[in-house]
Structure 1
Amino acid sequence: MDAEKKMELKLYNTMTQQKEVFEPITPGKVGLYVCGITAYDFSHIGHARASVSFDVLYRYLKHLGYQVTFVRNFTDVDDKIIARAKENKEKPLELSNRFCEEYLVDMGALQCLLPTHQPRVSDHMDHIINMIQKIIENDCGYVVEGDVFFSVEKSHNYGKLSGQLLEHTRAGERVAVDSRKRNPADFALWKAAKPGEISWESPWGPGRPGWHIECSAMSAHYLSPRFDIHGGGEDLKFPHHENEIAQTCAAHEDGGGVNYWLHNGHVTINNEKMAKSKKNFKPIREVTKKYHPLALRHFLMSVHYRSPLSFSRSQLDSSSEALYYVYQTLQDLDDALLPYREAMAEDGGKAQVTAEAKDIINKLKSEFEAKMLDDLHTAHILTGAYQEALQFINASIGKLKKMQKKQRVSLLVSLVEIEKAAREVLDVLGLLTTLSYAEILKEMKQKTLKRAGLSEEDIAQKIEERIMARKNKEFEKSDQIRAELTVQGIALMDIVKDTVWRPCFSSSQAYSSDGDESSS
């Protein structure tokens, strides 16, 4: 990493319950493992929250100059997958493969970078079986009628991550209590096959892995028994991550484990955790039918990643409007710079960035880094200095034609540098795509129309009605047309002799309440 970027990143470590300066095991390199989805259905906003949170971490670590090996698994064999496949009359691995691919489509729309590795449980049975054998050899596991259980009493620090005392652990978190266990809190490493279920051969007979062992085995394989960062939703702290620690340490007595445990907060809806089990979840695709995926990503970053996030249509509207303003400003700048590109090329880099522009760029960058270095504080990151940069751009565009050539070239160069700084922030946050600003704006307008239940033709007709009302001095009618459209998230703007429309914050109750849209 270069000297400019040798800054102290502080991350909140769940294990120590405090922010710590991040120091990788190997200087300049980071091993990052994040628990992925159990693939039996379309992914929901809760999954998107975790994915976006750790995508931001991945992007920022790369921004700081680290070489990151990012591993995110797929659970493609599980009780829920087997049950859903039976309902659908299809093979479990075919069903899970389908939903793994659908998840990747959703992640692509949300601009989540592909991890370095995306292992699936079904492809790593040898690694899982080998780890279970080590655990048994180290007297931390035992076999009962083809099942293998982990003996939690052999894990001396069990409960340290979650704060759960052994006597208070919730036996049977995902499975029924088994009287064959030595301790009710013991958990399955290997499950003997039931008649007709998918299975793999093992030293203990045909079966499949327990829920927890897969992540221990795959993280050790792709990273090492000890690595830098392990992430996941806060609901995974216990029992999943607690059990991962116990397994990895039992299999690698010479020092397995994780240096930093990071957990993202829940998405809530009507004050309850969003979950498939509660049947209150919002599939990602249901939301992106009416909101641009970038607006959803912005919404998911609108509070600190460790805080709960309440699903709200009004907040999605707010995110959509905030991003539209960013892209519209940058598009307006592109349009304004177009006539002067040749003059800038002829200048050959002689013109200097103005002192005011330098201050704006420095403030924008320093504020961004300060927020991100403080445990990835993405909330309000496009406010403050970022908004000041956008305001400077908007104020400067109108001045360009009135300036003398030498002054103008200096301002043009300044605007180009401010745009670069603004784009870099968007890029690190994952709020840029391969599309142009104009294309993103067009897509966002289409989503606005869909929410409003209107077409471009409908808007054109309303604009024409308003023009006629104003010509006839029916100003009350003109104002009413404008107000009605504003309620639907559409703002009419009179520019010189034309009227154009842009998305705006919708005041309609149909989109402002938590939960389902009242008008849907």
Structure 2
Amino acid sequence: MTLRLFNSLTRRVEDFQPEDPARTTMYVCGPTVYNYVHIGNARGPVVFDVLARLLRRRFGRLDYARNITDVDDKINAAAAEQGVPISAITDRFAVAYREDMAALGVAPPDIEPEATRHIPQIIAMVERLVAAGNAYAVEGHVLFAVASFEAYGKLSRRELEDMLAGARVEVAPYKRDPGDFVLWKPSTGDLPGWDSPWGHGRPGWHIECSAMAAAHLGETIDIHAGGVDLQFPHHENEIAQSECAHGGKPFARFWLHNGMLNFGGAKMSKSLGNIEKVHDLVRAHPPEALRHALMSAHYRQPLDWSDALVEQSVRTLDRLYGTLRDIDALLPAGTAPDVAIPDAVEAALDDDLNTPQALAELAAIAGNARVLRSAIGNGETSGVGPLLALATLGASLRTGARVLGLLQQSPAAWFGRGTSGDDDARIQALVEERGAAKQARDFTRADAIRDQLAGEGVLLEDTPQGVRWKRA
């Protein structure tokens, strides 16, 4: 089979092969850790988790990097508001992000670089850009000169004037051109900063990803992925500064962009306030159903998010797990033949990660299994052959679902969700989250958790060994 992916750079579906047959490289833009991420931010990690699994099956070694942005003006503002160092904010929400992604079945990346741990690499890249004439220093800032890169705009395929018209561009008197963007900026005493040839300061957002990708994956990477909202200016700027810093070498061979989530008829975003946080959703719904919902539309298309969508995913998984439960009940214990990934499922994913088609193929396998299960149960067919065929269908369903990160638990565990054991774990997680919030001086969140637990009849007790809880 041949893996074919839509390359945003060329605007067409192309056969994919890694440049180095012994090593595939992929970089995905990760979170800025100043708050909990919303469900729209989870679509990329879920989809590209499916891609990472596919790349490993197909090509062997994959070096997959997904960064953490832990120095940013939004982080600075949150830290100043709470009177804590930025690490108190970033450490807390980086942990929360990893936990939320794990709940959605997203495997950790091979590499998770943090911006603050790559300041020397960032400074070195800025120095190369200044020396090459692609950047200039002025008033403690270093800016990339967009006019120095003739190919600027090749990803978004728009003229510079059009791109600037649709973007928030900082107007500053020290810029040579309105489109020039910041590589380094000065920090006052109350802001995080590092010493550099241009004074005490901190990096711009775009240069962080370029430096981290080069440090861990090389000057040219196979795949760079992220949300379509990052295409301009972030990804466009990454291309410009990376290719200028590396003597014109291509920064990324393939660019993949996932579509946005819409909520209530508008794009989901923090600025609009129409968001649903993953941290809350994984506690209110089965996380596997959230993952299913995120894959229910093709990754490049917009996805309308709603409670109805999640409920539909729960019902779909109920049906699939119910099929497995019925198969298991009919077969002798230990009847689980080894089967390959169904060709139709793999073919769907090879077709530009067509997860809706892959889900449809799983539904077809489950449908065939239910027909055969009914025939066996009604005595319409008998013998070893039908039982073996049923076992094969059940194994195919599990194997095909595994590549999507679905049907990873037993039917009993799926249908037993919400039992006291699960609820105890949920309560303990909330208690621990409250402790972390108090340590970060986020008393609003800590009080909200206390009130939530009190409303559920859960009492908290401070002891020398820590916080204990009990039901009233």
The letter for the 1-side match of 2:74 is: K
Give the C-alpha shift of residue 174 in structure 1.
5.6
The reply to whether residue 130 of structure 1 matches residue 124 of structure 2 is yes
State how 1:44-193 maps to structure 2 within 5 Å. 44-170=38-164, 173=167, 176-193=170-187
State how 1:265-284 maps to structure 2 within 5 Å. 265-284=259-278
The reply to whether residue 387 of structure 1 matches residue 363 of structure 2 is yes
The reply to whether residue 248 of structure 1 matches residue 224 of structure 2 is no
Q: Tell me the number of residue pairs that the alignment of Structure 1 and Structure 2 aligns.
A: 421
The match for 2:214 is 220
The match for 1:292 among 286, 290, 293 is 286
Rounded Cα–Cα distance in structure 2 between residues aligned with 1:79 and 1:175: 15
Give the C-alpha shift of residue 380 in structure 1.
4.3
Name the CA shift for 1:262/1:167 in 2 (closer, same or farther; >3 Å). same
The letter for the 2-side match of 1:389 is: I
Rounded Cα–Cα distance in structure 2 between residues aligned with 1:133 and 1:172: 30
Q: Any idea what SS the aligned residue of 2:161 has?
A: helix
Select the structure of larger CA radius of gyration: 1
The match for 1:257 is 251
Structure 2: gaps (5+ residues):
424-472
Give the C-alpha shift of residue 166 in structure 1.
2.0
The match for 2:353 is 376
Rounded Cα–Cα distance in structure 2 between residues aligned with 1:237 and 1:401: 55
Rounded Cα–Cα distance in structure 1 between residues aligned with 2:60 and 2:14: 18
Tell me the TM-score normalised to structure 2 length. Answer: 0.84
Give deviations 1:247-266, integer Å, cap 9, x for gaps.
Answer: 00111005141100000000
Rounded Cα–Cα distance in structure 2 between residues aligned with 1:36 and 1:50: 9
The match for 1:367 is 344
Structure 1: gaps (5+ residues):
1-6, 354-360, 450-520
Rounded Cα–Cα distance in structure 2 between residues aligned with 1:369 and 1:27: 21
The match for 1:425 is 400
C-alpha contact 2:348 2:357 (8 A) present in aligned 1: no
The reply to whether residue 18 of structure 1 matches residue 9 of structure 2 is no
Give the C-alpha shift of residue 306 in structure 1.
0.4
C-alpha contact 2:169 2:179 (8 A) present in aligned 1: no
Name the CA shift for 1:294/1:175 in 2 (closer, same or farther; >3 Å). same
Q: Any idea what SS the aligned residue of 1:40 has?
A: coil
The letter for the 2-side match of 1:388 is: A
C-alpha contact 2:193 2:202 (8 A) present in aligned 1: yes
Rounded Cα–Cα distance in structure 2 between residues aligned with 1:136 and 1:404: 79
Give the C-alpha shift of residue 325 in structure 1.
0.7
Q: Any idea what SS the aligned residue of 1:417 has?
A: helix
Rounded Cα–Cα distance in structure 1 between residues aligned with 2:154 and 2:388: 55
The letter for the 1-side match of 2:405 is: G
Give the C-alpha shift of residue 417 in structure 1.
2.1
Rounded Cα–Cα distance in structure 2 between residues aligned with 1:112 and 1:149: 36
C-alpha contact 1:324 1:444 (8 A) present in aligned 2: no
C-alpha contact 2:346 2:358 (8 A) present in aligned 1: no
Rounded Cα–Cα distance in structure 2 between residues aligned with 1:404 and 1:281: 52
Q: Any idea what SS the aligned residue of 1:277 has?
A: coil
Q: CA RMSD in A?
A: 2.5
Give deviations 1:292-325, integer Å, cap 9, x for gaps.
Answer: 1111111000000000011111111111100111
Rounded Cα–Cα distance in structure 1 between residues aligned with 2:56 and 2:189: 48
Name the CA shift for 1:445/1:370 in 2 (closer, same or farther; >3 Å). farther
The match for 2:295 among 290, 301, 310 is 301
Give the C-alpha shift of residue 51 in structure 1.
1.1
The match for 2:413 is 439
Give the C-alpha shift of residue 175 in structure 1.
6.2
The match for 2:306 is 312
User: Percent of aligned pairs with the same residue?
Assistant: 40
C-alpha contact 1:140 1:150 (8 A) present in aligned 2: yes
The match for 1:356 is none
Name the CA shift for 1:171/1:390 in 2 (closer, same or farther; >3 Å). closer
Give the C-alpha shift of residue 193 in structure 1.
0.7
Name the CA shift for 1:413/1:179 in 2 (closer, same or farther; >3 Å). same
Q: Any idea what SS the aligned residue of 1:323 has?
A: helix
The letter for the 2-side match of 1:430 is: G
Rounded Cα–Cα distance in structure 2 between residues aligned with 1:192 and 1:169: 26
The reply to whether residue 235 of structure 1 matches residue 211 of structure 2 is no
Q: Any idea what SS the aligned residue of 2:355 has?
A: coil
The match for 2:459 is none
State how 1:450-465 maps to structure 2 within 5 Å. none
Q: Any idea what SS the aligned residue of 1:208 has?
A: strand
The letter for the 1-side match of 2:281 is: V
Name the CA shift for 1:33/1:268 in 2 (closer, same or farther; >3 Å). same
Name the CA shift for 1:445/1:321 in 2 (closer, same or farther; >3 Å). farther
Give deviations 1:376-411, integer Å, cap 9, x for gaps.
Answer: 01114322x433322332333355577799x53232
Rounded Cα–Cα distance in structure 2 between residues aligned with 1:394 and 1:280: 40
Name the CA shift for 1:252/1:90 in 2 (closer, same or farther; >3 Å). same
C-alpha contact 2:50 2:403 (8 A) present in aligned 1: yes
The letter for the 2-side match of 1:38 is: T
The letter for the 2-side match of 1:125 is: I
Rounded Cα–Cα distance in structure 1 between residues aligned with 2:377 and 2:289: 34
Name the CA shift for 1:388/1:445 in 2 (closer, same or farther; >3 Å). farther
Rounded Cα–Cα distance in structure 2 between residues aligned with 1:142 and 1:69: 34
Q: Any idea what SS the aligned residue of 1:379 has?
A: helix
The letter for the 2-side match of 1:372 is: L
Rounded Cα–Cα distance in structure 1 between residues aligned with 2:254 and 2:377: 54
Rounded Cα–Cα distance in structure 1 between residues aligned with 2:363 and 2:185: 56
Q: Any idea what SS the aligned residue of 1:124 has?
A: helix
Rounded Cα–Cα distance in structure 1 between residues aligned with 2:74 and 2:414: 38
C-alpha contact 2:21 2:59 (8 A) present in aligned 1: no
Rounded Cα–Cα distance in structure 1 between residues aligned with 2:293 and 2:380: 43
C-alpha contact 1:171 1:184 (8 A) present in aligned 2: no
- Greater CA deviation, 230-239 or 247-256? 247-256
Rounded Cα–Cα distance in structure 2 between residues aligned with 1:326 and 1:332: 10
Rounded Cα–Cα distance in structure 2 between residues aligned with 1:386 and 1:408: 26
The letter for the 2-side match of 1:431 is: L
C-alpha contact 1:292 1:444 (8 A) present in aligned 2: no
Give the C-alpha shift of residue 227 in structure 1.
1.0
Rounded Cα–Cα distance in structure 2 between residues aligned with 1:388 and 1:18: 30
Give deviations 1:406-430, integer Å, cap 9, x for gaps.
Answer: x532323222222222111111101
The match for 1:416 is 391
